[in-house]
Amino acid sequence: DARVTQTPRHKVTEMGQEVTMRCQPILGHNTVFWYRQTMMQGLELLAYFRNRAPLDDSGMPKDRFSAEMPDATLATLKIQPSEPRDSAVYFCASGLGQKDSPLHFGNGTRLTVT
């Protein structure tokens, strides 16, 4: 069963440190999404790629967050410098890029910034 793989599963870091989260989308999927989940805000879209090109990153704080897809098998989300308010679960999802097609989620990276 094909899965979206995210690493690390958990990350604890100190404020000001750089954090990099990685995602391996399902082979053959051409869309990749980064979401952030918190109790207060629910699921927020941070960034969206189609065929490795960034299409929408309006949900991402540009001053500290960056998202890239160096190749079709890897998507990264970086936070530099990290802040306590960044503590959340970050999910990567991939899809076929069709409206009737569901998104497939990884199990997330739980980030705690102290």
Partner 1 sequence: GDSVTQMEGPVTLSEEAFLTINCTYTATGYPSLFWYVQYPGEGLQLLLKATKADDKGSNKGFEATYRKETTSFHLEKGSVQVSDSAVYFCALPQNNNDMRFGAGTRLTVKP
Q: Note whether 48 binds partner 1 by CB under 8 A.
A: yes
Residue identified by tokens 């959340």 is 88
| Count, residues near partner 1 per rule CB under 8 A | 24
In contact, 22 and 75? CB cutoff 8 Å: yes
In contact, 22 and 3? CB cutoff 8 Å: no
Peptide bond into 70 cis (omega under 30): no
Q: Note whether 106 binds partner 1 by CB under 8 A.
A: yes
Q: Note whether 82 binds partner 1 by CB under 8 A.
A: no
Q: Give the shortest CB-81-to-partner 1 separation in angstroms.
A: 27
Q: What mask of x and - would describe binding to partner 1 in positions 13 to 42, judged by CB under 8 A?
A: ------------------x-x--------x
Hey, what are 64's tokens? 């500290």
CB closer to partner 1, 12 vs 55: 55
Between CA 35 and CA 32 the distance in angstroms is 10
Q: Note whether 105 binds partner 1 by CB under 8 A.
A: yes
Q: Note whether 103 binds partner 1 by CB under 8 A.
A: yes
Between CA 109 and CA 101 the distance in angstroms is 24
- Listed in sequence order, the DSSP H helices in 5-114 are none
- Residues engaged in binding partner 1 (CB under 8 A): 4, 31, 33, 42-43, 45, 48, 50, 55-56, 91, 93, 95, 97-100, 102-108
